């Protein structure tokens, strides 16, 4: 989770004008959210002025500002935010090359995230992400992979699009077109309403480059 202060620090280290950047990219209107949440409470037949609810619109607005932080940024801006890479050791890369001529892949598993379904604004939970890529000339810091997944999930999302967004950003940062993203998760729009199947899980895969056709690479992700 990244506060505004953290983002300012990241952009200060990158030599950017942080205050201008944050103001330019602030899209979440908390006052409008407060107003409309109060209206929803009224529409539900409750009294937004009663003791238990009088601060609810403000609390919800603050929560939305936090859990939807990723909506302030495009994929390109997230890539710039976490664009910390290191040159690949070409000698080691050559020694580790497979018969297909590609260096060994990087895999980060069990990245915990949560998000909100854009169809019902319902929570997507118990989500775990696996991100893999075959380095080209540079490798990204491992923690940045988790940070990218975290920021992408802080949007109104579809599980399928979370995978494609992560893959796009990893490619943008590393220059590698060989990227895979696997996600599993539960959707409360399916577990807590409608069909109400609490044990149902959704699995999605996003394969780019060699991962699309190389079954041996896919098997190494299991």
**Burial (CB count within 10 angstroms: exposed 0-12, middle 13-18, buried 19+), residue 90:** exposed
pLDDT reading at 187 higher than 90 = yes
- Model pLDDT for residues 49-103, shown as the tens digit of each residue: 999 999 999 999 999 999 999 999 999 999 999 999 999 876 554 544 444 445 5
pTM of the model: 0.85
84 with 78: CB under 8 angstroms? no
Higher pLDDT pick, 42 / 5? 42
DSSP code at position 79: H
Task: Report domain extents, the chain.
Answer: 4-67, 75-219
Q: Which two tokens stand for residue 100?
A: 């297909």
Judging by DSSP bridges, how do beta strands 179-187 and 85-87 pair with one another?
unpaired
CATH number of 75-219: 3.30.1130.10
177 with 171: CB under 8 angstroms? yes
Using CA atoms of 148, 150, 151, 155 in order, give the dihedral in degrees to the nearest 10.
130
What positions carry a catalytic annotation? 117-120, 159, 187, 189
* DSSP-assigned letters across all residues of 14-55: TT--HHHHHHHH----HHHHHHHHHHHHHHTT--TTSTTTTT
pLDDT reading at 212 higher than 50 = yes
Mean pLDDT computed over every residue of the chain: 88
pLDDT at 3: 52
- Model pLDDT for residues 140-170, shown as the tens digit of each residue: 999 999 999 999 999 999 999 999 999 999 9
Fold exhibited by the domain 4-67 = GTP Cyclohydrolase I; Chain A, domain 1 (1.10.286)
């Amino acid at each position: 989770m990244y506060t505004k202060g953290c983002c300012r620090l990241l952009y200060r280290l990158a030599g950017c004008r942080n205050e201008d950047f944050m103001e330019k990219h602030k899209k979440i209107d908390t006052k409008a959210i407060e107003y409309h949440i109060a209206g929803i409470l009224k529409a539900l037949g409750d009294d937004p002025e009663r003791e238990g609810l009088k601060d609810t619109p403000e609390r919800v607005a603050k929560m939305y500002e936090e859990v939807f932080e990723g909506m302030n940024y495009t994929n390109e801006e997230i890539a710039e935010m976490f664009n910390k890479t290191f040159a690949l050791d070409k000698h080691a890369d050559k020694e580790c090359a497979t018969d297909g001529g590609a260096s060994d892949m990087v895999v980060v598993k069990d990245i915990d995230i949560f998000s909100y379904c854009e169809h019902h604004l319902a929570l997507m939970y118990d989500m775990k992400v696996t991100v893999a890529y075959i380095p080209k000339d540079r490798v990204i810091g491992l923690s940045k992979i988790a940070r990218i997944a975290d920021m992408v999930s802080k949007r109104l999302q579809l599980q399928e699009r979370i995978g494609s967004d992560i893959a796009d950003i990893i490619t943008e940062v590393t220059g590698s077109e060989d990227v895979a993203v696997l996600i599993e998760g539960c959707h409360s729009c399916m577990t807590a309403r409608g069909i109400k199947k609490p044990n149902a899980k959704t699995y999605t895969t996003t394969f780019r480059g060699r991962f699309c056709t190389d079954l041996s690479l896919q098997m190494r992700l299991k």
